[in-house]
């Protein structure tokens, strides 16, 4: 399996998958969560946006340019400060726009197999190859897609009646 190609496949499709699922959907889904200290679809979109703006692409650059310093930390401060100012559709559009720019930059780098073996330094994880960063970025997306789907499914839990024991996703 060529993880780089699969990673790009996931990264390219995540914005559209989320748009298809959430665009013009129930406004109740925007802030639906699984309980205290859990994330709603809107919070997940904010995390994806913040990661794309300041973490994944920045660390891609650190490795490609062989900068002599450690990766940027994943931004946590202020992550949800302005969440209430945006609709779910606005968050989806902004995420799609930022992701498109980031993947254009990745594409323009015309990476070779050897480029994927380039190494950067993560403060907590140590040496990280470019191919590992790209795979982690894709898996981060998949985890959040799963999270949104699980939250929405649980929103139906009180309405599925006797099927509840057979629909595992609402019981996770």
Q: What DSSP line would sit under 97-163, residue for residue?
A: HHHHHHHHHHHHT---TTGGG-EEEETTTEEEEHHHHHHHHHHHHHHHHHHHHHHHHHHTGGGSGGG
Per-residue pLDDT of the chain (172 residues; tens, 9 = 90+): 569 999 999 999 999 999 999 998 888 888 899 999 899 999 999 999 999 998 999 999 999 998 877 787 777 765 666 677 888 999 999 999 999 999 999 999 999 999 999 999 988 889 999 999 999 999 999 999 999 999 999 999 999 999 999 999 998 8
Structure tokens given for 151: 């939250």
- Residue 102: which CATH number? 1.20.120.450
Residue 72 pLDDT:
77
Residue 2 pLDDT:
67
**From CA 122, how far away is CA 120, in angstroms rounded?**
7
What's the predicted TM-score (pTM) here?
Answer: 0.92
Environment class of residue 115 by beta-carbon count within 10 Å: exposed (0-12), middle (13-18) or buried (19+)? middle
**From CA 121, how far away is CA 128, in angstroms rounded?**
6
Structure tokens given for 55: 């973490």
Residue 89 pLDDT:
92
- 66 is in which domain, residue-wise? 3-171
Number of domains in the chain: 1
| Phi and psi torsions of 121, nearest 5° | -120, 125
Residue 71 pLDDT:
84
172 CB contacts (<8 Å, ≥6 apart)? 150
Residue 124 pLDDT:
85
């Amino acid at each position: 399996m060529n993880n780089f190609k699969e990673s790009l496949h996931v990264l390219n499709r995540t914005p559209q998958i989320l748009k298809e699922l959430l665009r013009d959907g129930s406004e109740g889904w925007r802030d639906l969560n699984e309980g205290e200290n859990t994330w709603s679809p809107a919070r997940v979109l904010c995390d994806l946006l913040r990661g794309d703006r300041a973490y994944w692409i920045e660390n891609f650059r650190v490795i490609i340019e062989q900068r002599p310093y450690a990766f940027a930390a994943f931004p946590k401060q202020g992550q949800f400060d302005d969440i209430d100012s945006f609709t779910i559709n606005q968050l989806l559009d902004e995420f799609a726009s930022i992701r498109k720019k980031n993947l254009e930059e990745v594409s323009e780098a015309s990476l070779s197999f050897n480029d994927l073996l380039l190494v950067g330094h993560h403060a907590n994880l140590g040496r990280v190859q470019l191919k590992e960063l790209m795979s982690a970025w894709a898996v981060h997306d998949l985890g959040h897609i799963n999270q949104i789907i699980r939250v929405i499914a649980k929103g139906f839990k009180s309405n599925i009646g006797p099927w509840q024991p057979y629909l595992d996703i609402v019981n996770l």
